[in-house]
Chain A
Amino acid sequence: MLAYAVRRMLVSVPILVIATFVVFVMVSLSGDPLSELKTRNPPPPPHTLQLEAHRLHLDEPLLARYWHWITGVFHGDFGPSVQSTQVIGPELAHRFLVTFRLIGVAMLLALALAVLVGVVSAVKQYSATDYTFTFFGFLFLAMPSFWFAILLKEAGISFNDTVGNQVLFTIGDSSVYVEGGTWASITDVLGHMILPTISLALLSFAAWSRFQRASMLEVLNTDYVRLARAKGLRRGTVMTRHALRTALIPLVTVTALDLGAIISGAIVTENVYQWRGAGSFLLESIRHDDAYAVAGWLLIAATFIIVFNLAADLLYAVLDPRIRYA
């Protein structure tokens, strides 16, 4: 299994190189990173522009720039940023930590809800509960994430107004200044997380609960579940010990496959709640035509997705003994 994992990771390296290369070229060709500097009033001296172009390696051909970047990455250097005050490596690390906090909690919440709702829907198939859950499942599947997030944000603001106290934060990932020690900072961060987490979680939840329902139904129709019931085991025991255990396995793969969509959802959610996370970093960098920053962003996001998918495949083999990786 270790050999399999190593091989999969090695196969992913060319994927990462090609993906970052394409994005690097696209961003480099889309505009002049110095345009902001050039349109400044009074115009900066030509010498400054020259220095800046040299700092960004713009005096070298595109391929050479990419080569510099990709070799630099292996030494922990993510290249110079168009925004001269920003060092891409540490900034990316900080931004992704903020975003992963959001994604992690949202995924756990979505999974827990999806399993619960999916299983209840399947066990009580074609009941009023099932139809209600199905209705909301379809509704959330059709809802644009940004629209729902904005709506939830407004609901949060009115909630604060009713309570007369800032309970739910609707802007930013944390307060700039928090009085009181560590505990106060933790509650501050948590307070900022509530609404964005719900926004992000509900969207994945919709698809996953539909999937969990189908998977549970499939298991409920198998012979071994019927046998367990026929043996006289209690319904609850059969549902949890026999059916649910097996029905959970396919969800592992679906969760992993959806990670890209969740990262996309996080970009939108961060934009609505004005978080300074990885999503806003990406959008800023694209607007600045900052090829190094965008390529760095994609490298980390894609690596994360690849590792997560690999972990899911390995976990699948652990959970389902019929699958072996040679």
Chain B
Amino acid sequence: MPDQDLRVAQRSQTQLVARRFRRHRLAMISLVVLLALVLLAFVGGWLWKYSVADLTPDESVPPSWDHPFGTDAAGHDTFAQVLRGTQISIGIAVLGALVATVVGTVWGATAGYYGGRLDTAMMRIADLVLTLPFLAVAAVLGHNLGGSWWLIAAVIAGLYWAYVARVARGVVLSLREKEFVEAAKAIGAGDARIIFRHLVPNALGSIIVNATVLVAIAILLETALSYLGFGVRPPDTSLGLLVSDAQTAVDTRPWLFFFPGVFIIVIALTINFIGDGLRDALDPQQTRMRR
């Protein structure tokens, strides 16, 4: 037997995770679908012959080659509107989830690492936020701050960071007592170094999974907010706003209602599946089924 057959390929942690993720069929399909959708929205929306504001002479026509998703009563091309809405909704959700994750992780890790009174005080603030019905507070903030997309993302981040902080704190609490932290302390590492170079990277699995699911939750919050009229405002549009405009047309012009709705569902569904795949890939112990 030649030597090379006995050699074992060394794989990095990232490679192992990627390998396990690729074996998760549903998550891989979801990733492909989501990427296709994002590409369609951001590149397709830019290439498409109509833009959001264009008024075509065709009013309330059903889907055709010229207008794949039909048009509304004013003659707006629904395909262009849905693509623009997808851009805005995804942009808001991703930015909101990202900021919430960064802030929440730092907050929760700090509280968990130091413990004691600082922990109590910091987590009480997080609990305060978690006590609130998010949609109600988001509506108040949305009404105050106006309809620009990054402000809505800020509102979403301002609510969900507390949720991330709880998760991050929980993980850090269990990691804090591990030997590698003691070892880092023993060689004289400072608190900041221990938190950001030792604790956070080890908690990264849970945090990434959490962030992924958060994007799906944020999409649903943003669309609900825009539906109620406190999120994205005309002339710009979001998937929630499109559904809101179409709610009396379900029977007469179903294309106006179903296309944006199905886009929301597909985005949230694929993100949830990707989150599931990531959870299995990052934390094999949690998987019950061997793949």
Known: A138-B269, A139-B269. A283 touches B228 (CB 8 A): yes
**Which range contains the number of B residues in contact with the other chain?**
35 or more
CB of B172 closer than 8 Å to a CB of A: no
Interface centre among A27, A31, A146, A272 (most CB of B within 10 A): A146
Contact B135 A267 (CB under 8 A): yes
Question: A263 near B133 (CB under 8 angstroms)?
Answer: yes
Measured CB to CB, the closest approach of chain B to A113, in angstroms, equals: 20
Q: Would you give the 0/1 interface string for B60-96, flagging 1 where the beta carbon is closer than 8 Å to chain A?
A: 0000000000000000000000000000000000000
**Bound complex: CA of A272 vs CA of B250, how far in Å?**
13
A138 touches B273 (CB 8 A): yes
Shortest distance from the beta carbon of B244 to any chain A beta carbon, whole Å: 8
Chain B residues near A139 (CB-CB < 8 A): 265, 269
Q: A147 to chain B: which residues have CB within 8 Å?
A: 223, 243, 261, 264-265
> What residue of chain B has the Cβ atom nearest to residue A16's Cβ?
B131
Decide yes or no: A286 and B224 within 8 Å by CB, A18-B128, A260-B130, A302-B132 being known contacts: no
Assess the A268–B228 pair: CB atoms within 8 A. Answer: yes
Chain A residues with CB below 8 A from B264, complex form = 142-144, 147
Q: Is the CB of B139 within 8 A of A283?
A: yes
Contact of B144 with A272 in the complex, beta carbons under 8 Å: no
Is the beta-carbon distance between B265 and A26 smaller than 8 angstroms?
no
| Nearest-neighbor residue (CB-CB) of A125 within chain B | B288
Within 8 A of B (CB), among A1-47: 12, 15, 18-19, 23, 26-27, 29-31
| Residues of chain B with a CB closer than 8 A to A261's CB | 133-134
Could you tell me how many residues of chain A have their Cβ less than 8 Å away from some Cβ of chain B? 46
Q: Distance in Å from the Cβ of A157 to the closest Cβ of chain B?
A: 8
A317 within 8 A of B: no
Report chain B residues within 8 Å CB of A268.
135, 224, 227-228
What CA separation (Å) do A31 and B134 show in the bound complex?
Answer: 21
- Give A139 to B139 CA distance when docked, in angstroms: 26
| Chain B minimum-CB-distance residue to A289 | B143
* Sampled A-B contacts (24; CB under 8 Å): A12-B131, A15-B124, A15-B131, A18-B128, A19-B128, A19-B131, A139-B265, A141-B268, A141-B269, A142-B216, A142-B265, A142-B269, A146-B223, A146-B240, A146-B243, A150-B243, A157-B251, A260-B133, A260-B134, A263-B136, A271-B227, A283-B228, A302-B132, A302-B133
Report the 4 A-B pairs with minimum CB-CB distance, sorted nearest first.
A264-B135, A142-B268, A30-B144, A142-B269
Known: A264-B224, A298-B136. 9 other contacts (CB 8 A): A29-B144, A138-B269, A141-B269, A143-B265, A150-B243, A260-B133, A268-B224, A272-B247, A298-B137
